Amino acid sequence: MITVEEAQARMGADVRPLPGEVVPLMDAFGRVLAEPVVARRTQPPFAASAMDGYAARAVDVAAVPTTLRVVGTVPAGATFEGRVGSGECVRIFTGAPVPDGADAIVIQEDTEPAGDGTVLVRETAVAGRYVRPAGLDFATGDAVLPAGRLVGARDLGLAAAANVPWLSVRRRPRVAILSTGNEIAMPGDPVGPSQIVSSNGPALVAFVIASGGQPIHLGNAPDDVDAIGRLVEGAMGADLLVTTGGVSVGEHDLVRPGLARHDLSLDFWKVAMRPGKPLMFGRMAGVPVLGLPGNPVSCLVCAMLFLRPLIDALLGLDRGGDGEVRLPLAAPVPANDRRQDYLRARIVIDPSGATAVEPFSRQDSSMMARLAAADALVVRPPNAPAAPAGTPVPVLRFPVGHLRV
């Protein structure tokens, strides 16, 4: 048996990022940058006022009260063409360029109109205060976002401010999904008395979308080598093939011989984890193949641990341990055996107001309702001793947000 980390490392070593494609800025949300975003302008492009008030020379307002002559006005979007001279000021509004000659902003609250085109200044103003110098935020040529970045709303705003209307992003990985099993019916189909409805296919479709990929649902293959071999032809040209079920050692576990109808180089590992069964990884006709267990909870936990990192690798995305935290246990857990355990758990607020993690008391790996109710997986390393409530433990949070998995 190999460890989860070893299996992840072997898969990661086998997959390279996909090429980039150029998309309009507003289509880039949720995509991964293939190239850095380089600013096409300096922001702010000029020294700008940060307040409504009067642009003046600091030397003229060093002693107050004093009266200045208002020689012009400059709202945002306009420019004062003249120069502020001794004893003069220009009415200015937030975002407007500070006129030549002026080096200070007297905020409106510190003034009052004094008639005859003059203003009374009651407080001193310091040079540079309330002035945003040109390039305060970024300058033309700055790489404002690095390659490999998952583009969020703030990033989109930054790229827009930098006047970059097109972004180079990784192509979405095309992930073909095949479920297998004589007993499997599709949701909504007539379901015989000894059949079960495929939860893995639909869940994996959503999982792939949430991970930034483009699913191709190939359907369900019966436990038949020819049928499996034919259906996986739909994965030719995909960036990844994911199968569920049929990867154990039983005589109805025919995914491997089915794939062997095509050019196949396959590793087949026993991974020391629970939930989870033998895992398959390799290539069929050049397409990376990940064989997940059929058991629905195992399938989705293994998707979290192996499919998501594979899609990340195709996207050139490093999530940097996002979602990995340590939290105190809200309830005791027993000692673990030699398999790394992933306990479905809820994140709770304990009586002291602290965040804690509470594994479900029953961890049967067929329980989909529990899996859906879980917020996180508690990681129990091999041979971990029994742990009382309060023990900090490693936790993998399910990603939250719009693209929930």
Q: Which stretch binds ligand AMP (CB under 6 A): 168-176, 241-249, 316-324, 350-358?
A: 241-249
Overall residue count recorded for the chain in this entry: 405
Residue 245 in contact with Mg ion, rule: CB under 5 A: yes
DSSP string for residues in 329-355: BSS-BPPP-SSEEEEEEEEEE-TTS-E
Distance in Å, CB of 186 to ligand AMP, minimum: 9
Among 49, 243, 244, 363, binds ligand AMP (CB under 6 A): 244
Distance in Å, CB of 271 to ligand AMP, minimum: 14
| Residue 208 near residue 175, CB atoms below 8 Å | yes
Opening angle at CA 313, ends 311 and 317, nearest 5? 95
Beta strands in 46-141 (DSSP E): 48-49, 53-56, 66-74, 88-92, 104-107, 111-115, 118-121, 131-132
Cis peptide bond upstream of 392, omega within 30: no
| Residue 38 near residue 152, CB atoms below 8 Å | no
Q: Which helix (H) or strand (E) holds 182?
A: none
Opening angle at CA 318, ends 25 and 316, nearest 5? 60
291 binds, among Mg ion, ligand AMP, none (CB under 5 to 8 A by kind): none
Binding mask 162-181 for Mg ion (x = CB under 5 A): -------------------x
| Residue 292 near residue 243, CB atoms below 8 Å | yes
Between 183 and 224, whose beta carbon lies closer to ligand AMP? 183
Residue 200 in contact with ligand AMP, rule: CB under 6 A: yes
- 122-181 residues near ligand AMP, rule: CB under 6 A: 179, 181
Among 17, 213, 245, 316, binds ligand AMP (CB under 6 A): 245
Distance in Å, CB of 197 to ligand AMP, minimum: 7
Q: Which helix (H) or strand (E) holds 368?
A: helix 368-373
Between 49 and 243, whose beta carbon lies closer to Mg ion? 243
Distance in Å, CB of 206 to ligand AMP, minimum: 14
- 61-100 residues near Mg ion, rule: CB under 5 A: none
Residue 258 in contact with ligand AMP, rule: CB under 6 A: no
Q: Which helix (H) or strand (E) holds 369?
A: helix 368-373
| Residue 317 near residue 18, CB atoms below 8 Å | no
Closest CB to ligand AMP: residue number: 294
215 binds, among Mg ion, ligand AMP, none (CB under 5 to 8 A by kind): none
Q: Say how far apart CA 89 and CA 321 lie, in whole Å.
A: 54
DSSP 399: P
Between 49 and 179, whose beta carbon lies closer to ligand AMP? 179
Distance in Å, CB of 241 to Mg ion, minimum: 17
Catalog residues that contact ligand AMP under the rule CB under 6 A.
179, 181, 183-184, 196, 198-201, 244-246, 248, 293-296
Catalog residues that contact Mg ion under the rule CB under 5 A.
181, 245-246, 294
